[in-house]
Amino acid sequence: MTRHLGLLMNRFLLVPFSLGLTQLAMNKSNLINGFCAEHRWASAVILGFIGSCISAVVGWKSVQAPLQFIYSCFLKPLGYHGHNQQDRLESFYQDQADVYDATRGGLLRGRKTMLKLCAAQLKQQASAIKSDEDLVWIDIGGGTGWNIERMNTYYPIEKFHKVYLIDLTPSLCRIARERFQRRGWNNVVVLCEDAASFTLPGIDDMSGKVGMITMSYSLSMIDNFFPVIDRIQKLLAPKGIFGIADFYVSGKSPSPAEKLSGSQNRQCSWLTRFFWQIWFDFDHINLGPGRRDYVEYKFGTLKCLNARNHFIVPYLVQIPYYIWLGCSLERPDEDRSWDIDIPGSSGSSVVESPPGSVSGRQTRMEFSKPALQTRSSSFDYQARPWRLPYDPSLPCHTQFRSYIYAFTWEDPRVDLEYLDLTESDTMFVITSAGDNAIEYAIKARPQRIHCVDMNPCQNHLLELKLASIKSLEFEDFWKMFGEGRNPQFETLLHDFISPNLSSHALQYWSHNSDRFSHKFYKTGYSGLALTLVEWWIKMQGLQKDVHDMCHAETIEEQKRIWNEKIRPAIFSPMIRKVLNNPMFMWNALGVPMNQMNMFLKDGTTQQYIEDTLEPIPSRSLFRNDQYFFYLCMMQKYTRESCPSYLTEEGFKTLKETNATDAFRLHTDSIVNVLQSMPDKYLTRMIVMDHMDWFSPETNELEQEIIEMARVTQPNGRVYWRSAGKYPWYNDLFVKHGFEVTPLGIRESGHSIDRVNMYSSFYMAVRS
């Protein structure tokens, strides 16, 4: 009852507040237009006096542009509704045409990013374009030609056969013509015509032939936008790109396109929706969500980004804007070099047949399509087949705001000793950070590697690694994932990596581009553990000792530093208390309560940690082999101590072969993905330690093992690690037709692999 009264009171308090904002926005137009219409001389005198005072101090040229901008946007009358659009625009822009570009940099955000993404798409599709003569670009509402001049930085204008700038404002077109004349671009034509009815000189019909069309902050200014969008749809080539950067507000309810394009950060608060739509409306700029919805209905989505412009006053003023790249709904499949052949989430669509069927040919079996694919989603237009469709709005996905693991904590060398992988294998792997899955691709190049994770961010991370391998040179890639720091990441993301990323992953990394600004491996929830390790080392004054141990030349030296300096500090009472805390175990180390209970059956937490760490300094050198622990202490890898994909040889193998084509990334639960697969489809499954997370009191895990038995081929194998020496669920595998064999059971003083974090390593063979 109290809660309902509180909500009711809030609503009554918010109503007058919102009405006050409405009145404020209305007063903007009424007061300014009324004042200026009757007292223009006064405004001119006031502005002139202010300008004289400022220019006397800092110089006229430095204040001319901002004063002209203030006068044109806030003091000058906007014109009557009875005027046609061209007269109104010309009246508004004619006095500021010369300073337009100097005053719009901070307001019209996203233009550079939109052009970069378009250029990156063009470069990737260059092989599909017969010749440069085929490439035509139309910039609708191009104004002064700033977009075209800027695009030359990302994709040379000389590569376009023709570039047409369409704008309705004569004064802005004049600036554009002068700009292109100075540049000597004879292939750029400026047309002062209406966007819905323009004609291209010397060309009778360009229907279906235009390679790129862009609209930079112009869609929101067009009164009758329906015929303009319909015209663009008619002009755009099947392989063409349509790019938009503009202001927007969302609707009250999420748009259906959010499920199709993964529109992270798209929804606006009620205050933002209400205020900015009214505020911009007085300048004849329409931010209603219907425009964007119509565009996404008429075109397929390639990429989509949503952001906020903190204009003038950071964090107080937040103007929503978006960047969107689309394509024809009829975009040909051959442009994508792949077919969706494996299901998405929650009851998927298409699955490959088991290897070797139909004389070795890969046939396909039809299943029901996911509900989110009532219309073509952005997944249908990916350049790479890696990411499979999923609904990002489901609670099982929205609960994750970041990846848990920035690195993989299982030893792939031991895996490969027992996997016996061949090129004909079809694998099922838990994604984690993707390091081990990539290792399998390097060593054996299996036919298919299905990576599964409920956390979308884990798949975003693996997808970024795959896309970066395809897009970047080794040194840039090494800085990202070897050193964990690449200040140029945002530029690399938009200029090179973006075409190979799904729209969902691009949005995530655009919003989190700062992850590579300092120490990448201190991000995510596992980064909390590394941060605590770093803090603990500093508090103990062990920086030099830890550094020396990580760079020791001999095992003897490494063991000495461990025994004399590091070990006594690790097993202190304070550390024991921290490790006994379930909240720390989950948030920092990713250890849930059920798993913690498993190793507590075999002994204490103290004993478990001792059994884990004691053998490690004696096994091999941190500086050239033990990259797991080197990373934990140094927060980076070295060229000698790193996963195989971070070596030049491994990177080259992945980049120059089709090894990465094997990957399919499922964002769903293990049981759902297994249920979508046909009988006897998989040959190898590596499910890490996830079965430890289940409770013996429920039958959830048994249902999963039943599905494993169904989809695993005869003699197919399932591998897992466990915090317990003799996991309770081993019997379930035996019950459902597997023969279980221990590959390693940890004993005090001996390690079973380079990590040695788990008490046991098992294999189950399907009978």
| Whether the predicted pLDDT of 262 surpasses 90 | no
The pTM of this model reads 0.85
The closest alpha carbon to 76, from 109, 43, 114, belongs to 43
Mean of the pLDDT values across residues 6-34? 40
Which residues have a Cβ under 8 Å from the Cβ of 349 and sit 6 or more positions away? 340, 343, 366, 367, 368, 369, 370, 373, 389
The angle, 0 to 180 degrees and rounded to 10, between the axes of the packed helices 543-550 and 524-540 is: 120
Mean pLDDT of 499-520: 96
* CA neighbor of 137 nearest in space, from 236, 204, 222: 236
Residues 137, 163 contacting (CB under 8 angstroms): yes
pLDDT digits (tens, 9 = 90+) for 402-461: 999 999 999 999 999 999 999 999 999 999 999 999 999 999 999 999 999 999 999 999
The Cα 60–Cα 54 span in angstroms is 8
52: tokens are 């004289």
Residue 455 falls inside a structural domain: yes
Number of domains in the chain: 2
Q: Which of 320, 335, 350 is at the close of a domain?
A: 335
3-class SS of residue 759: coil
Cβ contacts of residue 407 below 8 Å, gap of 6+? 433, 435, 521, 526, 628, 631
- Average pLDDT of the segment spanning 226-249: 95
Same domain for 426 and 313: no
Q: What is the DSSP letter of 106?
A: T
The answer, yes or no, to whether residue 360 has pLDDT greater than 90, is no
Domain boundary at 335, 361, 393, which?
A: 335
Residues 602 and 535 in one domain: yes
Domain assignment present for residue 509? The answer is yes
Whether 54 contacts 46, CB under 8 Å: no
How is 241-299 classified by DSSP, letter by letter? EEEEEEE----SSPPTHHHHHT-TT----HHHHHHHHHHHHTTT----HHHHHHHHHHS
* Whether residue 36 has pLDDT greater than 80: no
Above 90 in pLDDT, residue 48?
no
For 559, the token pair is 């063991």
Percentage of residues in the chain with pLDDT exceeding 70? 80
Alpha-carbon distance of 695 to 724, in angstroms, equals 13
- Confidence tier at 536 by pLDDT (50, 70, 90): confident
The span from the CA of 12 to the CA of 518, in Å, is 47
173-227 per-position pLDDT tens digit: 999 999 999 999 999 999 999 999 999 987 878 888 999 999 999 999 998 899 9
Residue 528 lies in a domain: yes
346, pLDDT greater than 50? no
Same domain, 321 and 401: no
Note whether 445 and 551 are same-domain residues. yes
Residue 733 belongs to a domain: yes
Tens of pLDDT, residues 111-141 = 999 999 999 999 998 755 544 458 999 999 9
Chain Cα centroid distance, residue 13: 38
- Tell me what the pLDDT averaged over the chain comes to: 83
Q: Do 329 and 434 reside in the same domain of the chain?
A: no
| Residue 59 resides in a domain | no
Tell me what pLDDT residue 205 has: 83
The gap between the terminal CA atoms of the chain, to the nearest Å, is 60
Q: What is the DSSP string of 21-52?
A: HHHHHHHHHHHHHHHHHH-HHHHHHHHHHHHH
Q: What is the pLDDT of residue 62?
A: 56
> Do both 126 and 207 map to the same domain?
yes
Q: Average pLDDT of 276-298?
A: 90
State the residue range of the domain holding 305. 111-335
- Name which of 279-283, 373-377, 600-604 the model is least confident about: 373-377
Residue-level pLDDT at 311: 79
The answer to whether residues 489 and 412 belong to one domain is yes
* Contact in structure between 724 and 583 (CB atoms under 8 Å): no
Residue 118 is predicted with a pLDDT of 97
Task: Return the pLDDT at 195.
Answer: 93
324 plus 442 within the same structural domain? no
The mean pLDDT of 635-646, rounded to a whole number, is 96
Nearest residue to 594 via CA among 690, 670, 694, 687? 694
* CA separation for the pair 250, 269 (Å, rounded): 9
Shared-domain flag, residues 214 and 303: yes
As a 3-state breakdown, the chain gives helix, strand, coil percent values, each rounded to 5, of 50, 15, 35
Task: State the alpha helices, DSSP H only, in 472-554.
Answer: 474-481, 489-492, 503-511, 524-540, 543-550
Higher local confidence (pLDDT), 10 or 529: 529
Q: With bands split at pLDDT 50, 70 and 90, how would you rate the model's confidence at 103?
A: confident
Between 85 and 366, the more confident residue is 85
**Predicted local distance difference test score (pLDDT) of residue 23:** 44
Provide DSSP, 692-703.
GGS-TTSSHHHH
Structure tokens at 592: 């849930």
Q: Taking 80 as the threshold, does the pLDDT of residue 315 lie above it?
A: no
Pairing of strands 682-686, 426-430: parallel
Decide which of 335, 365, 393 is a domain's last residue.
335
| DSSP summary character for residue 354 | P
> CB–CB of 724/598 below 8 Å?
yes
Share of the chain above pLDDT 90, in %: 61
In a domain, 20, yes or no: no
- Note whether residue 537 is domain-resident: yes
Higher pLDDT, 588 or 314: 314
CA distances from 460 to 270, 405, 501, 523, 603 (A): 30, 12, 9, 14, 37
3-state secondary structure of 567: helix
Cα(339)–Cα(342) distance, integer angstroms: 9
> What is the pLDDT confidence band of residue 725, given thresholds at 50, 70 and 90?
very high
- Confidence class for position 70, pLDDT limits 50, 70, 90: low
CATH number at residue 302: 3.40.50.150
Q: How many CB atoms lie within 10 A of CB 443?
A: 18
Which pLDDT belongs to residue 170? 92
User: What pLDDT score was predicted for residue 363?
Assistant: 33
- Domain check: are 407 and 541 in the same one? yes
For residue 357, the model assigns a pLDDT of 36
Report, as an integer, the average pLDDT of 234-262: 90
Query: How many other CB atoms sit within 10 Å of the CB of residue 100?
Result: 20
Q: Which of 71-75, 229-233, 315-319, 746-750 has the lowest mean pLDDT?
A: 71-75
Distance from C-alpha of 621 to C-alpha of 617, rounded to nearest angstrom: 7
Contact 670, 430 (CB under 8 A): yes
For 440, the enclosing helix (H) or strand (E) is: helix 435-444
Using CA atoms, how far residue 731 sits from 260, 381, 409, in Å, is: 42, 45, 26
Q: Assess whether pLDDT exceeds 80 at residue 596.
A: no
Q: Are 633 and 546 in contact (CB under 8 A)?
A: yes
Same domain for 390 and 479, yes or no, is: yes
Bridge partner residues of 274 (DSSP): none
Is residue 580 in a domain? yes
Report which DSSP code applies to 314: T
Residue with tokens 């605590």: 532
pLDDT of residue 66: 62
Tokens for 660, please give them. Answer: 């990465």
Residues 300 and 397 in one domain: no
